[in-house]
Amino acid sequence: MAKVEIENVHKNYGAKEDAVKGASFTCEDGELVVLLGPSGCGKTTTLRMITGLETITSGTIKIGGKIVNNLTPQQRNVAMAFETYALYPPLTVYDNIAFPLHVMNLSKADVDKKVRKVAESLSITEILPNYPDSLAGGQKQRVSLARALVREPTVFLMDEPLSHVDADVRYRARAEIKHMQATSNATVIYVTHDQVEAVALADRVIVMDLGVIQQIGSPVELYNKPANLFVAGFIGEPPMNLIPCKLELSEGKIALTFKGDGQKKFSYSVKVLPAKTMKALQGYSGKDVVIGIRPQKLKIDAASKTAVDGSMDARLVVHEFLGKNGIAQVEVDHTMLECVTTPTIPFAMGDNVRIIAPFEDLNIFDQVTTQRIPY
């Protein structure tokens, strides 16, 4: 397998705006990188440029240190698993898997050996004589993986391979892909719009929107320190609470005031905060910011408890029981916030409660640039 380097790659389809605007990233040998973003963000285009199915408007793509810009897909020796599987309907499963081997001028015995080996590893031996039309989604998926794997390619590219698999087998298929990648130590670039899938699979995730890479990082980094409002809103289930606020630094306190009547605020005493944080936030005093807090981090408590740093009065609007936990919707100053709770809570709908947002769990974003303020 090989390392893939993408440097300042642009793609223009003839419209005024580029579909991909200067993408740069590296996928190390044996790494599983996920390109994540909503539809139309340029992730599939980026993948297809790496495959060689799309030309590159400008920039360079290197596979294994070699520039491949002008090479055809077959010269790049990459394998691609397609969203629609793209199995060849007139051929049996066996011939589908053997298809890429025929161009390699291997002997019949070698082809047979390779096909059977890969079929066994994906446990599809018993469906080898079948035709693709007779297979279930999960089986088709495995056949398409087998066909890609059998060539021992330098890079493995996957374009939403699970989006057409039934929900009940998707979890298993995802685990199989991860297992296959780990055991064969393959370099994989995987495209998806499903953030749960991305976070579950990836060594590193590349989040794209509007043709621009928004953030590159491990799933943990993306979750805890999203680079901007887009990433913050895209990653995580339920989505992060994002609240426009006014930031004020005064007399050893930080106040984050809600936009409504100016009464509701999260306030924190400065004493406990490191100097670095204070310095970073200094310039934003008196300015509008957006604060983000994950529903999992926002705590809910009885209104009678004494106020602590970052606590605020709120009204419980709805609480849903979801088995292993619950979700509460609370209203503060006409803003609805979501809060993951224990399965049941000792409050009734309409009760006054207290919510607590610990400062270390807050992300503060510049409202104008939408970038996260680093502190």
Partner 1 sequence: MKEKRKNNLLIYLGMLVLAIYLTMPIIWIVMMSFKNKFDVISMPPKIFFIPTLDNYKALFGLGKGGLVAGSTFLSYFKNSLILSVGAIVLALFLGMPAAYAIARLRFKAKESLAFTFLSFRFVPEITIILPLYVLYQRLHLYNTYIGLILIYQLIAIPLMVWMMRSYFEEIPIAIEQAAHTDGYSWAGSFFRLVLPLAAPGVAATLVLCFIFCWNNFIMGLMLGGIDTQPVTVGLLSFMGTSEIQWGSMAAATVVAIIPEVLLVLAVQKYMIRGLTFGAVK
Which residue ranges make up the site for partner 1 (CB under 8 A)? 51-53, 72-74, 78-80, 82-90, 99-100, 103-104, 147, 151
Q: Which one, 164 or 299, has the nearer CB to partner 1?
A: 164
- Return the sign of the alpha-carbon dihedral for residues 171, 189, 222, 372: negative
Q: Minimum distance from CB of 119 to partner 1 (Å)?
A: 17
- Min dist CB 203 to partner 1, Å, is 23
Find where tokens 């893939």 sit.
Answer: 4
Residue 360 is given by DSSP the state G
The phi-psi region of residue 68 (left if phi > 0; otherwise alpha if psi is between -120 and 50; otherwise beta) is alpha
Question: CA 98: distance to chain centroid?
Answer: 33
Shortest gap between Cβ of 89 and partner 1 (angstroms)? 6
DSSP characters for 289-332? EEEEE-TTT-EEEETTSPP-TTEEEEEEEEEEE-SS-EEEEEEE
For partner 1, the closer of residues 103 and 167 by Cβ is: 103
Minimum distance between the CB of residue 268 and partner 1, rounded to whole angstroms? 54
Burial 178-207 (b: 16+ CB within 10 A, else e): eebbeeeebbbbbbbbbbebbbebbebbbb
Shorter beta-carbon distance to partner 1: residue 157 or 356:
157
If the CB atoms of residues 44 and 311 are measured against partner 1, the closer one turns out to be: 44
Residue 28: strand, helix, or coil: coil
- In the complex, the smallest distance separating the C-beta of residue 108 from partner 1, rounded to whole angstroms, is 18
Name the residue nearer to partner 1 (CB basis): 93 or 332: 93
CA triple 344-197-36, angle to 5 deg: 120
Q: Which is nearer to partner 1, 158 or 355 (CB)?
A: 158
Report in angstroms how near the CB of residue 143 gets to partner 1 at its nearest.
12
Entry field: residues in the chain: 375
